[in-house]
Structure 1
Amino acid sequence: MGLRIKIGATIGATAALAVLVTGIQVPSMLTEREREAALDRLRFAERVYEQSGRAAYGAQLDPPGMPAPLLEGLARGHRSTYVQDTPKGKRIWAGTATGGHYLVMTTRRSPAVGEVEQVMWKSGAVGVGVAGLVGVAVAARFGRRLRVSARTAERIAEGELTARLPEHGRDEITALARTVNAMADALGSRLQAEREVTANIAHELRTPVAGMLAAAGLLSDGKAENMVRERAERLRDLVEDILEVARLDNGAEEADLRWVEVAGLARRAARAAAEGRTAPGAPVPGVRVDVVEDARVRTDPRRVERVLSNLVSNALRHGSAPVVIEVAGPLVRVRDQGPGFPSHLLSCGPQRFRTGAAGTGLGLGLTIAAGQARLIGAGLRFGNPESGGAEAVLDLGEPAATDTGAAGSRPAPAPPAP
């Protein structure tokens, strides 16, 4: 049930309760006043009866048909009144015991009371309907503001830190929007500061790391020397990864789109990833490439290879053999038989410096893959198939991947295959 329906129903129910209470209380109060008036007339008739011995002003002595509740009250020696429902309307009885008899007066309830009661119920029903409609309209207005705020908050949560909630008005929703905007400003400033610090550190490390690699290259062959060279190369790759993430964050990268065959990109990426994961003297891990259907797409081949090699490297590092790249037209799937992607990655996407396996990475590989995919306009999805393992799907057929012009322009036709 939506918010506007809940608010409208609440306002309508409150109005209905008010109508119900008023519709019961007001006629009851009017009837009570008529009973008091009947008692006043009875007292006057009682004084006349005591003085003259005759019933006057419509009073009767021991009339037939007196209601039992009235008789019970008179038997206790009290003046009593009773409202009796009859086919012709309500009838008010008033009586008292005097001189061994019951002096009783009867009157019809004023028709105005019944008319007031009917008017109240009818106008109350109309009021409940109007209140419900007004409640729905007011709730719809607030609901629209809340939906806009929720969509903007989702954009902020997805990383669009420039999005802001509207701050029109002085109510609680505006106060909430102002607080969320302040939080987004603080979060954006903190993230930007962290990115700048990380990029600066990586940039400053490039020169000493390059010198370390040059010095390691002068070492003679040996187990210890090879280990030094391997660690220096790993440190260089890490510095380059951090700088690449910083460039993607700052929007300093541009895609170089051209027509290429997807199968060829997949084979080159598989070979590069397998060789990159190979230690000196160790066998090259096998990565199988299955081409169900090849396709030619307009994309940046270097960045596609980068995305696929990172996906394969992640599968080789965290998954289990066999690692398979399946090409199905513009769709490229990278599967392994490992434990699958962690739940936080499936729900929030890749996050730098956070990996599913402790001590085996910094989470930059998938972060770079996601950033490069966004840059070329490709879709990248992560999932854990029911058959087990992990699966990453790169979709090179999305419109942004084949559109190099302005928004709304048509992609250029693919050239014929050679």
Structure 2
Amino acid sequence: MSLRWKITGMTILSVLLTLLVSAMLVRQMINLSEEQRLREEATTSLQQAVRILDETGISILGAKVNDPQLPDEARDAAKAGQYITYRALIDGQEVIYAAAPVSLGTQPAVLSLSVSWASSQQMRQSVDTALLWAGITTLVLVSAIGIVVVSRLVMRLTKGSHAARAIASGERRVLVEDSIGKPFGGKDEVDEFAGAVDAMARELNAKIAAEQRFSADLAHELRTPLTGLVTAASLLPDSRPTQLVQDRVAKLRNLVEDLLEVSRLESRIESADLATVQLDLCVAETIGRIRGRRPEQCAELELHLNAEGSEVRVEPRRVERILENLISNAWAHGEAPITISTRGRSISIHDQGPGFPGSVLDNGPERFVSKGGGIGLGLTIASGQAQALGATMKLSNDNGALVHLELQPPAESELR
């Protein structure tokens, strides 16, 4: 259930409970007030009847001497010399008795009369009807106002969540506080929360930008001396030490090139030169080139092409960078065989190793974060190149590490 309906439901329930309690209290107060009025009316009428009886010996106003229907408790209290009123149920009807002691010659007696509640029943029914309609009207109005206010709040929170997701995806110019709009008046807690999120995003963006600048500057600074080192290593005489030096220099050069590539991808300054190609043909040619460069890593690589006739919109060079890094990552951290398969407009890369760590599945690939044996650039480059292609790369564990790459279809103009 959404927050809108939770708050609306709680508002309606609170209003309904308040109306019920208020109606019960008002009804009880009316009953007490009406009972007090009837008691006073009965007492006043009895006093007049007692005076007339004493003066004329005639009973008026429906007063009765020694009424057999008068409850015993009221009769005994009146015989004790008191004016009393008593609420009783006679023949299924509520009445108020008023009783007082009188003397008929030398004989003591009790004079009483009754006032029926029926005279006030219509008034109480009218009050109940008025309370009912007032409650319904209040409930509808308060619920409508509550829905409007809650909808506005939920809409602002929804816009804020969309802005936060945009920030998480790399949109650094988005501000949550600007996206959510203004409340009905002044600032509220949602504005304070949005401001806190924006402040946090600015701090994180500043740190990320500083880290990216450092990586890019480091790679550029290393590139110049590394070029000379590569040249010098190539001039060394053939020997086992020379091979070790050249191997390490080559690894260092690849690392610097990877750092530069990551910096370009993270700065989003690159744009892919997309073209429509046959997926199976593109993958087959790409794997062939990778086998030539990395025969050891591709020794137990299995290729299954199941996307016959399927066309995708890609830049083959970037697809090659993605597959090469994923194969290298699978070879370094997984177990053979490495299986690459195509189906529809997707490519899957699967190995039989322990799978991806939970942090990678939860947060995605991060540079300089690896479970061992590397510095975490392979998955980062593959993910960045996939974004540049407009493709979707999903990581999962299914009896090993599984990477699923969903590519873009051809443009509509090319399908016609």
TM-score, L = length of structure 2: 0.82
| AA matched with 1:217 | S
Instruction: Classify 1:202/1:351 alpha carbon distance in 2 versus 1 (closer, same or farther; 3 Å).
Output: same
Say whether residues 1:63 and 2:67 are aligned partners: yes
Pairs aligned (count): 396
Structure 1 Cα separation of the partners of residues 130 and 114 of structure 2: 26
- Give the CA deviation at 1:172: 2.1
Output one character per residue of 1:76-118: Cα deviation in whole Å (capped at 9) or x when no partner.
Answer: 989454275987xx74414456467555443234232331122
Counterpart position of 2:105? none
Structure 1 Cα separation of the partners of residues 209 and 277 of structure 2: 36
Q: How does 1:296-335 map to 2 (within 5 A)?
A: 296-328=311-343, 330-335=345-350
Among all aligned residue pairs of Structure 1 and Structure 2, give the percentage whose two residues are the same amino acid: 32
Say whether residues 1:203 and 2:226 are aligned partners: no
Structure 2 Cα separation of the partners of residues 392 and 69 of structure 1: 92
Which of 355, 363, 366 is equivalent to 1:351?
366
Contact 1:42 1:59 in 2 (8 A): no
| AA matched with 1:322 | P
Output one character per residue of 1:197-233: Cα deviation in whole Å (capped at 9) or x when no partner.
Answer: 2111111111222233333334444444433332222
Say whether residues 1:216 and 2:233 are aligned partners: yes
| AA matched with 1:175 | E
- Give the CA deviation at 1:250: 1.8
Say whether residues 1:369 and 2:373 are aligned partners: no
Counterpart position of 1:337? 352
Contact 1:245 1:367 in 2 (8 A): yes
- Give the CA deviation at 1:8: 2.2
Contact 1:321 1:338 in 2 (8 A): yes
Output one character per residue of 1:149-186: Cα deviation in whole Å (capped at 9) or x when no partner.
Answer: 22222222233333222341322222222222222222
Instruction: Classify 1:73/1:211 alpha carbon distance in 2 versus 1 (closer, same or farther; 3 Å).
Output: farther
Instruction: Classify 1:284/1:184 alpha carbon distance in 2 versus 1 (closer, same or farther; 3 Å).
Output: closer
Structure 1 residue matching 2:170: 3-state secondary structure: coil
- Give the CA deviation at 1:283: 8.7
Instruction: Classify 1:215/1:85 alpha carbon distance in 2 versus 1 (closer, same or farther; 3 Å).
Output: farther
Output one character per residue of 1:118-168: Cα deviation in whole Å (capped at 9) or x when no partner.
Answer: 211232123223333332233222222222222222222233333222341
Contact 2:280 2:305 in 1 (8 A): yes
Instruction: Classify 1:157/1:75 alpha carbon distance in 2 versus 1 (closer, same or farther; 3 Å).
Output: farther
Contact 2:351 2:401 in 1 (8 A): yes
Instruction: Classify 1:64/1:148 alpha carbon distance in 2 versus 1 (closer, same or farther; 3 Å).
Output: farther
Gaps of 5+ in 1: 404-409
Output one character per residue of 1:359-399: Cα deviation in whole Å (capped at 9) or x when no partner.
Answer: 322221111111112212223222223xx122222233x24
Structure 2 residue matching 1:285: 3-state secondary structure: coil
Based on CA coordinates, which of the two structures has the bigger radius of gyration? 2
- Give the CA deviation at 1:309: 0.8
Structure 1 Cα separation of the partners of residues 285 and 86 of structure 2: 103
Instruction: Classify 1:266/1:121 alpha carbon distance in 2 versus 1 (closer, same or farther; 3 Å).
Output: same
| AA matched with 1:123 | A
Say whether residues 1:37 and 2:45 are aligned partners: no
- Give the CA deviation at 1:323: 0.8
Structure 2 Cα separation of the partners of residues 227 and 257 of structure 1: 40
Counterpart position of 1:82? 87
Counterpart position of 1:158? 169
| AA matched with 2:116 | R
Q: How does 1:247-262 map to 2 (within 5 A)?
A: 247-262=264-279
Counterpart position of 2:211? 194
Structure 2 Cα separation of the partners of residues 73 and 193 of structure 1: 96
| AA matched with 1:107 | V
Counterpart position of 2:153? 142
Structure 2 Cα separation of the partners of residues 118 and 72 of structure 1: 40
Say whether residues 1:124 and 2:124 are aligned partners: no
| AA matched with 1:412 | E
Q: How does 1:85-124 map to 2 (within 5 A)?
A: 91-95=94-98, 98=101, 104-109=112-117, 110=120, 111-124=122-135
Say whether residues 1:168 and 2:182 are aligned partners: yes
Output one character per residue of 1:255-295: Cα deviation in whole Å (capped at 9) or x when no partner.
Answer: 233454434443454355456556xxx79633222222344
Output one character per residue of 1:304-347: Cα deviation in whole Å (capped at 9) or x when no partner.
Answer: 11111111111111111111222335322212111222333333
Contact 2:86 2:96 in 1 (8 A): yes
Instruction: Classify 1:68/1:374 alpha carbon distance in 2 versus 1 (closer, same or farther; 3 Å).
Output: farther
Counterpart position of 1:240? 257
Structure 2 Cα separation of the partners of residues 380 and 74 of structure 1: 96
Contact 1:35 1:92 in 2 (8 A): no
Which of 280, 288, 306 is equivalent to 2:302?
288
| AA matched with 1:237 | N
Structure 2 Cα separation of the partners of residues 145 and 35 of structure 1: 54
| AA matched with 2:87 | Y
